[in-house]
Amino acid sequence: MTNSSLLGVEGEPGRFKASVLLKPRYIDPAKCTGCGECAKHCPISMPDTYNEGLARRKAIYVQYAQAVPLVYRIDTEACIGCGLCERVCLAKAVTYADAPREISLDVGSVILAPGYEVFNPVELFDYSYGRHPNVVTSLQFERILSASGPYRGHLLRPSDRGHPKKIAFLQCVGSRDEREHAGYCSSVCCMYAIKEAMIAKEHSADPLDCAVFYMDIRAHGKDFDKYFLRAQEKAGVRFVRSKVFKVEPKNGTGELSVKYLDASGAPAGEDFDMVVLSHGFRASKQAVDLANRLRIPVNEYGFVQPGTLRPVDTARGGIFACGAFSGPKDIPESVTEASAAAADAARLLAPARGTMITKVEYPPERDVRAEALRIGVFVCHCGINIANTVDVTAVREYAKTLPGVAFTEQNLYTCSQDAQRHIKEMIIEHSLNRVIVASCSPRTHEPIFRETVRQAGLNPYLFEMANIRDQCSWVHQTQPKLATKKAKRLVRMAVAKASMLESLAGASVGVTASALVVGGGIAGMTAALNLVEQGFPVFLIEKEAELGGNARLLSRTHDGADVREFLVGLIDRVKNHPKITVITQATVVEVAGFRGNFKVGYMVVPRKDILRLECGAVVVASGASELKPAEYLYGQHPRVITQLDLEQRLPEPGGELPGAPLDVPALETMKSVVMIQCVGSRQQGRMYCSRVCCTQAIKNALRLKELNPAMDIYVLYRDIRTYGFAELLYRRARAQGITFLRYDETQKPVVEAVGDGLLVKTFDHVLGEPLHIKTDAVVLAAAIVAPEESNLDLSHALHVPLNEDHFFLEAHVKLRPVDAATDGVYICGMAHSPKTVDESIKQANAAASRAATLLSKTQIQLDPVISEVIDANCDGCAYCVDPCPYKAITLVEYMQAGSVKKTVEIDDSKCQGCGTCQATCPKKGVVVKHFKLDQLSAMVLAALAEE
């Protein structure tokens, strides 16, 4: 339901009534084919919001060429009602009489993901945005870089379409700025600015200078620091620590002068051809209105801000919030939260799983093997999209002459409902056993037509398409004769392939509806509980004797939630759930099988034998731990401790000191504490940010200030990375007089013992001179490190790779952040990378959600387009075994007529049908079904034949 608004939700969790307003589109989506003829004739030209106003569009439009659904809409605010579009639309899809409609939906749960807006920097007068064309926002710059953008991917500056030589990127535009009512950090701008700078340099034919003006670089995500380093060292992007106060146009040149204060606070300036403003997140008005309509409170900035321990909840049960609606975040975090919200909804509705969906019934499949070829060819006009360039009638007449063709027809729109009904009738009436549609791209339409032939009793793989629109009529518009000739060629190729098509069916395998969770920390236990409450039994394997992991060392989250209490509750629920089997002091030693059917071997201390279990999915939540530092006198001086050491000694507000050993003076009597950040992180051999330490240090510093307001606290840092709303904590810390001093990696602080106390020597960049601080204690923000040895073992057992820092690698860093490359294996918590408690909870629920999509199926259908061994041809040379990227091929031997026959075997559950084996085989011993060498060869020969 696009073009719609949610008006309100009433009822209770599990049983809501939602009222939805369907806004008029003035186009019938069932009829519109997205051909674009209407927009060609529309006389109205207006700024294109998709291209951020850098290009123009018509009043009848689609947002962009790849839009889903590809259905036009009339912008009635701009439309003058001339009626041209209605007249030119052959599909009769224009419906001026369209009116808004309200509908009511019965739903068990609601997930809110309305997204965000970007800050409009026109309010910042000093940056010249909106007054000088060469000052653009980062989103506009994305469009400039894009091949589908206003300059077709050429890097041009807007004022004169010249090639820029120097571009400045200004960070924190409308972020970390209370004057613009945004005290928070937008979290993603540092990384996208680095990306844009690198891509701009790649796009530019001439040498391009890119400079990023920043306060702190916040590369706190997984492997982000490596990317930051690449930008500096390989791509040569300049990073200027500064505060920009003005962007001034230089008269007549198109150039802009950037005025700033440098790291020492001295004024400086530099000229650029273009300035890109890294504008931050804003709560969108639409989202705030939505929250108000649903009676869901938002924070002072308009974002929903759930508690850290229930990170996707809203104030209303059964209604969940995710994505940028609950604060600035990047793509993988949004995707993770999306799955986490789905997990919570699925848990709530578990008893009703499958009750609202119906299974499609198909007629029995016809066996066509013994039948003579009877090919049906349907040639599409696609309105005028094909017919204006290609002589459709000629193509159809030609198709009639091709061998095996029994029936031909031409349709105005082959994909329309009535045309498909007609195709089904023709298949039955003319006993067709192969079907070809010559129209658009199989990438978009093959599934639709496969469904059609299936409904007519044919195997869906007896269908073939000829792409005579996207790859013919649209790209040869000025050459109708040649386009017609090519269309005939494409149809001839399709007929050649269709003649050789075979019915295919993927194997169907059962699913063991239980999961194994490796690791009993917060992440593992959260995943286990969600899965079990969704109805799937869980085995939980923990290598320690106790559940709880790192959370046992934490007291409170930065928003004050009690971690200890939460943990006790969690352990209790896990231990007492009848369908969770907790196995402590155990390690996984081997894993066989595949998604839906894993056979796991594990060992329990002190036994020496391997025990076994079976499960359908594996969730890796094996955690990480705090590094024991080897510098700054840690372990040598009792007053040098880590943040976790400190955290365990912090009393509850108003409560008593916990009984930790007091090898430092009582906390409330200390006069001074120095905190050192990035101890073991962001350095050679461990080039990553441990993400949690900045916020953790500031949280603990504020707690110390609470205990003793007179205490002097210094935080020695490299970049403060309090992303999102944690920035507010940083602001509070500075307001309370906590001193933040930056140090360079090349000039680390030095800690010396002086009497009972300590002396910290560092360098003050603002004063430009060395600084010595006498202190009672030094607290180190030690890196979070992955357990190298045990992760390597688990990685081998599961065939899931680790990154170079020994954290588990996800299948896709943006779009599949909790899926492992091995199907059926999911990753969450610190096994994936350092993260906070709330982030671990979200990721754990996300992993549970992904696992549930697999476990909820009784059978999984494997794709039939995979490799197949022709045993008679295979001589067991094994050339194909190593190149297989999915490790799906094994060499086997068996006895045949008294001698050993070598051959290979394909694991159907692993094979993805890439065909690398087919290409390496010298004997045609292994082929990809539906893309066999003979089938491809027939197409090639048909392509080379003449009419």
Coil vs helix vs strand at 716: strand
d(CA 424, CA 417): 11
Q: Please report how many Cα atoms fall inside a 13 Å half-sphere around the Cα of residue 48, on the Cβ side.
A: 18
Among 124, 173, 190, 194, binds another protein (CB under 8 A): 194
Among 5, 416, 625, 795, binds another protein (CB under 8 A): 5
Shortest Å distance, C-beta 77 to another protein? 14
Token duo for residue 930? 């539906």
Among 850, 864, 888, 903, binds another protein (CB under 8 A): 850
Query: Is residue 174 at the binding interface for another protein, with CB under 8 A as the rule?
Result: no
Buried b (16+ CB within 10 A) or exposed e, 437-447: bbbbebeebbe
Token duo for residue 299? 């924070």
Query: Is residue 14 at the binding interface for another protein, with CB under 8 A as the rule?
Result: yes
Query: Is residue 471 at the binding interface for another protein, with CB under 8 A as the rule?
Result: yes
Among 93, 346, 377, 670, binds another protein (CB under 8 A): 346
Which CB atom, from 758 or from 844, has the smaller least distance to another protein? 844
Shortest Å distance, C-beta 351 to another protein? 6
Q: How many CB atoms lie within 10 A of CB 796?
A: 14
* Backbone phi and psi for residue 729, each to the nearest 5 degrees, phi listed first: -65, -40
d(CA 320, CA 331): 18
Shortest Å distance, C-beta 194 to another protein? 7
Which CB atom, from 73 or from 556, has the smaller least distance to another protein? 73
Query: Is residue 302 at the binding interface for another protein, with CB under 8 A as the rule?
Result: no
Beta strands in 511-624 (DSSP E): 515-518, 538-541, 580-583, 586-594, 597-604, 611-615, 617-620
Which CB atom, from 16 or from 714, has the smaller least distance to another protein? 16
- Cα distances (Å, whole numbers) of residue 915 to 225, 437, 465, 562: 36, 26, 21, 54
Which pairs with CB-CB distance under 8 Å and at least 24 residues apart come from 137-141? 137/52, 137/173, 137/276, 137/277, 137/279, 138/169, 138/189, 138/192, 138/193, 138/196, 138/276, 138/277, 138/278, 138/279, 139/52, 139/279, 140/52, 140/53, 140/54, 141/196, 141/200, 141/276
Query: Is residue 401 at the binding interface for another protein, with CB under 8 A as the rule?
Result: no
Residues from 131 through 150 that contact another protein (CB under 8 A): 139, 142-143, 145-149
Binding window for another protein (CB under 8 A); candidates: 267-275, 320-328, 523-531, 730-738: 320-328
Among 216, 255, 273, 337, binds another protein (CB under 8 A): 337
Q: Are 547 and 571 in contact (CB under 8 A)?
A: yes
Contacts of 325 (CB under 8 A, 6+ apart): 112, 113, 114, 115, 116, 283, 287, 303, 304
d(CA 808, CA 831): 6
Residue type, 946: E
Which CB atom, from 739 or from 803, has the smaller least distance to another protein? 803
Which CB atom, from 513 or from 794, has the smaller least distance to another protein? 513
Residues from 886 through 905 that contact another protein (CB under 8 A): none
Binding window for another protein (CB under 8 A); candidates: 554-562, 618-626, 764-772, 917-925: 917-925
Query: Is residue 832 at the binding interface for another protein, with CB under 8 A as the rule?
Result: no
Query: Is residue 290 at the binding interface for another protein, with CB under 8 A as the rule?
Result: yes
d(CA 33, CA 358): 27
Token duo for residue 836? 């906070």
Per-residue mark of binding to another protein, 531-550 (x: CB under 8 A): ---x----------------
Q: Are 691 and 835 in contact (CB under 8 A)?
A: yes
Among 39, 98, 474, 759, binds another protein (CB under 8 A): 474
* Backbone phi and psi for residue 667, each to the nearest 5 degrees, phi listed first: -55, -40
Query: Is residue 783 at the binding interface for another protein, with CB under 8 A as the rule?
Result: no
Binding window for another protein (CB under 8 A); candidates: 125-133, 376-384, 713-721, 935-943: 935-943
Which CB atom, from 111 or from 208, has the smaller least distance to another protein? 111
Among 42, 89, 111, 173, binds another protein (CB under 8 A): 111
Residues from 214 through 273 that contact another protein (CB under 8 A): 223-224, 226-227
Among 853, 861, 890, 896, binds another protein (CB under 8 A): 853
Shortest Å distance, C-beta 98 to another protein? 13
Coil vs helix vs strand at 388: coil
Which CB atom, from 45 or from 858, has the smaller least distance to another protein? 858
Which CB atom, from 70 or from 78, has the smaller least distance to another protein? 70
Query: Is residue 485 at the binding interface for another protein, with CB under 8 A as the rule?
Result: yes
Binding window for another protein (CB under 8 A); candidates: 264-272, 340-348, 363-371, 451-459: 340-348
Q: Which residue's structure tokens are 């197949």?
A: 868
Query: Is residue 116 at the binding interface for another protein, with CB under 8 A as the rule?
Result: yes
Query: Is residue 195 at the binding interface for another protein, with CB under 8 A as the rule?
Result: yes
Query: Is residue 322 at the binding interface for another protein, with CB under 8 A as the rule?
Result: yes
d(CA 685, CA 785): 12
Specify the pairing of strand 739-742 against strand 712-717.
Answer: parallel
Query: Is residue 632 at the binding interface for another protein, with CB under 8 A as the rule?
Result: no
Query: Is residue 472 at the binding interface for another protein, with CB under 8 A as the rule?
Result: yes
Which CB atom, from 13 or from 593, has the smaller least distance to another protein? 13
Residues from 743 through 782 that contact another protein (CB under 8 A): none
d(CA 662, CA 684): 34
Q: Please report how many Cα atoms fall inside a 13 Å half-sphere around the Cα of residue 509, on the Cβ side.
A: 20
Among 482, 507, 662, 792, binds another protein (CB under 8 A): 482
Residues from 802 through 821 that contact another protein (CB under 8 A): 813-815
CA 97-98-103 angle, to 5 degrees, is 145
Give 648-671 as a DSSP string: HHPPPTTSPPP-----S--GGG-S
Token duo for residue 499? 């003649």
Give 301-328 as a DSSP string: TS-----TTSTTB-SSTTEEE-GGGGS-
Query: Is residue 476 at the binding interface for another protein, with CB under 8 A as the rule?
Result: yes
Token duo for residue 928? 């990809």
Count of residues touching another protein (by CB under 8 A): 134
Query: Is residue 865 at the binding interface for another protein, with CB under 8 A as the rule?
Result: yes
Query: Is residue 881 at the binding interface for another protein, with CB under 8 A as the rule?
Result: no
Shortest Å distance, C-beta 69 to another protein? 6
Binding window for another protein (CB under 8 A); candidates: 3-11, 79-87, 761-769, 868-876: 3-11
- Cα distances (Å, whole numbers) of residue 835 to 107, 284, 326, 692: 34, 27, 18, 6
Which CB atom, from 296 or from 657, has the smaller least distance to another protein? 296
Q: Are 160 and 138 in contact (CB under 8 A)?
A: no
Shortest Å distance, C-beta 434 to another protein? 17
Helices 933-944 and 480-499: angle between axes, nearest 10 degrees: 150
Residues from 41 through 80 that contact another protein (CB under 8 A): 50, 52, 62-71, 73
Which CB atom, from 400 or from 923, has the smaller least distance to another protein? 923
Among 211, 341, 402, 785, binds another protein (CB under 8 A): 341
Which CB atom, from 199 or from 500, has the smaller least distance to another protein? 199
Query: Is residue 390 at the binding interface for another protein, with CB under 8 A as the rule?
Result: no
Query: Is residue 721 at the binding interface for another protein, with CB under 8 A as the rule?
Result: no
Contacts of 593 (CB under 8 A, 6+ apart): 599, 614
Among 37, 59, 85, 108, binds another protein (CB under 8 A): 108
Beta strands in 153-304 (DSSP E): 166-173, 209-214, 238-249, 256-262, 267-272, 274-279, 281-283
Binding window for another protein (CB under 8 A); candidates: 161-169, 331-339, 687-695, 715-723: 331-339
Q: Which helix (H) or strand (E) holds 58?
A: strand 56-58
Query: Is residue 276 at the binding interface for another protein, with CB under 8 A as the rule?
Result: no
Residues from 426 through 455 that contact another protein (CB under 8 A): 441-444
